[in-house]
Amino acid sequence: MAMNMTSRVAALNPEVEQILKPFKLSREELMLVMRRMRKEMEMGLSRKGQKEASVRMLPTFVHYRPDGKEKGSFLALDLGGTNFRVLLVRFCPQTEGGMKHVNQSYSIPQEVMQGRGKQLFDHIVDCVAKFLSNQKITERLPLGFTFSFPCKQISLDQAILLNWTKGFSVPDCVGKDVVQLLREAIQRRQELDLEVVALANDTVGTMMSAAFQDPKCEIGLIVGTGTNACYMEQMKNIEKLDGDSGEMCINMEWGAFGQGEQHSLAEIVNEFDKLVDQQSLHPGKQIYEKMIGGKFLGAIVQNILLNLKEKGCIFRGIQTHTLEQENIIRTKFLSKIESDSGDLLHVKSILEELGLPCGIEDRVVVQAVCLAVSQRAAQLCGAGLAAVLERMRENRQMDLMKMTVGVEGSLYKLHPHFSQILKDTVKDLAAKCEVHFHLSEDSSAMGAALVAASTRAS
Ligand code: GLC
């Protein structure tokens, strides 16, 4: 379908085709991305290279993956996407699936996401108190905290925040131990009695949840608001850490790939990516994430449409001020626009909703723009994942490696083509890896409960 649409556009206007050209990556370009990712992984793990690497390769202190025998009840908090979530997770080996959970989402106002630390952590604890009271929970529960930002971990329950990403910016927390900040906020709410036992990145949580059901899972992948991956690395390859035996999960923080001195994505980044970066909350940072994550795809589309409008290729002769408003094209629109076929009636209704002209020519162009942007996102993500898989396969000296990837995130789950393009790219670039993608709901948060459970098992 994608090809037909693209050729319809070319038939309508070759200039559109020209503007979308930088989004059509060749196999060579994807292989270049894969090679560069591997190089940065190597640097990030080494003692000397770690300072220059854009991919930080953060040790998580998770040496263990679940075995399905976990027991007990845990609270899990999940901070990192658009909502804050609280879960009560009960592991019960006898029941189907091995666990039960209830959860509740709470919104985080923009002024809290970009305010002061005390306000943010008090808000979190406030939501936890509401949850406990709604669920009538009075027992003292151990708590696992899914915190989806880069942290330098010193242990499972000590995590120094390195910087904020996505839509968060709470400067007075940077350089502080976020577990401690949470404990202090709990103490301020005197009626609460909770024991924070572990912090985990969402990638780690997702890997742990998938591994709970499928022991072959050694990679966690997130493609939602942002993007990131983690995987199990042999200790002997983590040069920057002492100790040679066993393995540890590494939170790659691959969203930062392409930032800084290395310019690893210099040949791929185009004028629209640069604009989105400049307009973002953290300019110059998270370059790879800004080409893949759901928070940014709509902004890329919007910048392309504005450019097409200026060139007179779309929305001809009509004032379209709405197109200049910030964040007007949401990623969920992309999913809807790209699912459409025939007369593109969904595209029509979205354009109408946005107050934009919606003639058939405009609809076709808008759809082609969305397709090009999300296809590149899925391919770039696939090239990164292929780098991780190939590194693991070569380290294990296997001719063929079977691997399960635990995956979570709205883009992977809800977008009509993203997951398929990602899978096709991985199959092409890492042909010696047989990959199974394990998608599960709420897995990143439940995984923090599993990490918490691991502290009880040892
Ligand atoms: C951002 C965060 C990272 C997280 C990812 C997905 O890249 O820095 O920690 O895993 O988003 O939520």
User: Which atom of ligand 1 lies at the shortest distance from residue 81's CA?
Assistant: 12
CATH number, domain of 374, equals 3.40.367.20
- Whose tokens are 């990602």? That residue is 422
Same domain, 196 and 240: no
Q: Is residue 388 part of a domain?
A: yes
Digitized pLDDT (tens) for each residue of the chain, 458 residues in all: 444 554 555 466 899 999 999 999 999 999 999 999 999 999 999 999 899 999 999 999 999 889 888 889 999 999 998 789 999 999 987 777 788 889 999 999 999 999 999 999 999 999 999 999 999 998 899 999 999 999 999 999 999 999 999 999 999 999 999 999 999 999 999 888 899 999 999 999 999 999 999 999 999 999 999 999 999 999 999 999 999 999 999 999 999 999 998 899 999 999 999 999 999 999 999 999 999 999 999 999 999 999 999 999 999 877 778 888 888 888 889 999 999 988 899 999 999 998 899 999 999 999 999 999 999 999 999 999 999 999 999 999 999 999 999 999 999 999 999 999 999 999 999 999 999 999 988 889 899 999 999 887 65
Question: At residue 214, what is the residue type?
Answer: D
Same domain, 103 and 136: yes
Same domain, 177 and 269: no
Q: Is 228 in the pocket of ligand 1 (CB under 6 A)?
A: yes
Q: Is 293 in the pocket of ligand 1 (CB under 6 A)?
A: no
Q: Is 148 in the pocket of ligand 1 (CB under 6 A)?
A: yes
Return d(Cα 324, Cα 320) in angstroms, integer. 8
How many distinct structural domains can be found in the chain? 2
Q: What range does the domain containing 98 cover?
A: 61-200
Same domain, 247 and 332: yes
Same domain, 292 and 196: no
Q: Is 408 in the pocket of ligand 1 (CB under 6 A)?
A: no
Same domain, 181 and 217: no
Bridge partner residues of 158 (DSSP) = 155
* pTM for the model: 0.95
The secondary structure of 111-157 as a DSSP string is HHHTS-HHHHHHHHHHHHHHHHHHTT--S--EEEEEE-S-EEEEETT
Q: Which residues are catalytic?
A: 85, 148, 202
Q: Is residue 456 part of a domain?
A: no
Q: Is residue 373 part of a domain?
A: yes
Which among 330, 339, 332 has a CA at the least distance from the CA of 367?
Answer: 339
Question: Could you count the other beta carbons within 10 Å of the beta carbon of residue 392?
Answer: 20
Task: List Cα–Cα distances, 68 to 221, 403, 454, in angstroms.
Answer: 21, 18, 11
Nearest CA owner, ligand 1 atom 8:
149
Task: List Cα–Cα distances, 7 to 3, 103, 283, in angstroms.
Answer: 6, 46, 35
Q: Is 259 in the pocket of ligand 1 (CB under 6 A)?
A: no
Nearest CA owner, ligand 1 atom 1:
226
Q: Is residue 300 part of a domain?
A: yes
User: Which atom of ligand 1 lies at the shortest distance from residue 166's CA?
Assistant: 1
Report CA(223)–ligand 1 centroid distance (Å).
Answer: 9
Nearest CA owner, ligand 1 atom 11:
226
CATH number, domain of 156, equals 3.30.420.40
Same domain, 114 and 242: no
Q: Is residue 446 part of a domain?
A: no
221 DSSP assignment? E
Same domain, 178 and 78: yes
Phi-psi region of 236 (alpha: psi -120 to 50; beta: other; left: phi over 0): alpha
Q: Is residue 451 part of a domain?
A: no
Return d(Cα 91, Cα 78) in angstroms, integer. 18
